[in-house]
Amino acid sequence: MMRHRVRERAPFIILPFMLGILGAGRPANAQTFAVGLGIGYIQPTLDISRIGDEFFWTGAGAQWKDLIGLKAVKGTVFLYGDLRLYLRFPITFELSGYRWSRVETTHPSVSPSFTVPVHNRFQDLALGLNVLWSPTLKNFRPFVGVGASFHHLRAEIDPEGFPEIATKGSKQRVGPALSAGVDWKVLPRVALFITGRYDVVVAWNQWKILGGIRFHGK
């Protein structure tokens, strides 16, 4: 009976103990969390043929790539946000989220004298969890980190004037992420940040640079 009660209460006993350990390395006056808001620039390196095979129909990749004449997708700007939890100095946990979307229009030739505008849409909605090493150096806090992100990916082909052959598809992927950057404290609870990040996603690898403002709480 006693053992059964101990097992039932174990999570409630262990959780505060673990949180105490995580906080043990943090100075008493250290900040415990921060919220970051900013903008980013992304340069996706998409594998067009593979996206065609995976998002539309098997064997479509090479045919789609040749038909639309799309070789690469240009960079774009997006909004970014994160929440950082400073649990044990100098280790930080970071929850991040962003969404980017890009439309590339091509004009493939249907015949020698006739071209069709084709709008190719790509979209990624991502949520990530990262572990950062982030020591404090006076007013600067450099950081490097690794983590993983969940990506909800969408691709669409929309030929003007031919709605019957327009098609779209979506996939979910989880991929690793690497990041590095620095926070610069400009006020007691306000910092500016810049981050470089690389996300590995099947057929959707992405380089990013992020910048913005971070608000620190107690």
- Expressed as residue numbers, the domain containing 170 is 31-216
Question: If you average pLDDT over every residue of the chain, what do you get?
Answer: 82
Q: pLDDT confidence of 19, banded at 50, 70, 90?
A: very low
**Residues 106-138 as b or e (16 or more Cβ within 10 Å = b):** beeeeeeeeebebebebbbbbebebebebebee
Yes or no: say if 102 and 74 are a contact pair by the CB < 8 Å rule: yes
* Overall residue count recorded for the chain in this entry: 218
Query: pLDDT per residue over 139-178, tens digit each?
Result: 999 999 999 999 999 988 888 887 777 788 889 999 999 9
Q: Is residue 54 part of a domain?
A: yes
Q: Is residue 198 part of a domain?
A: yes
pLDDT attached to residue 64: 63
Would you say 41 and 209 are in contact if contact means Cβ atoms under 8 Å apart?
A: yes
**Quick check: is 22 in a domain?**
no
Report the 10 Å Cβ neighbour count for 50: 14
Where does the pLDDT of residue 29 fall: very low under 50, low under 70, confident under 90, or very high at 90 and above?
very low
- The total number of structural domains that make up the chain: 1
- HSE, side-chain direction, 13 A CA sphere, residue 212: 18
Domain assignment present for residue 4? The answer is no
pLDDT at 63 over 50: yes
For residue 117, whether the previous peptide bond is cis, meaning omega lies within 30 degrees of 0, is no
DSSP, res 59: T
Domain of 129: which CATH number? 2.40.160.20
Q: Which has the closest alpha carbon to 140: 214, 191, 87, 81?
A: 191
Q: What is the pTM of this model?
A: 0.78
Residue 56 lies in a domain: yes
Alpha helices in the chain, H assignment, sequence order: 2-24, 48-55, 60-68
> What is the Cα–Cα distance from 78 to 124, expressed in whole angstroms?
11
DSSP annotation of 163 reads G
Tell whether 185 is covered by a domain.
yes
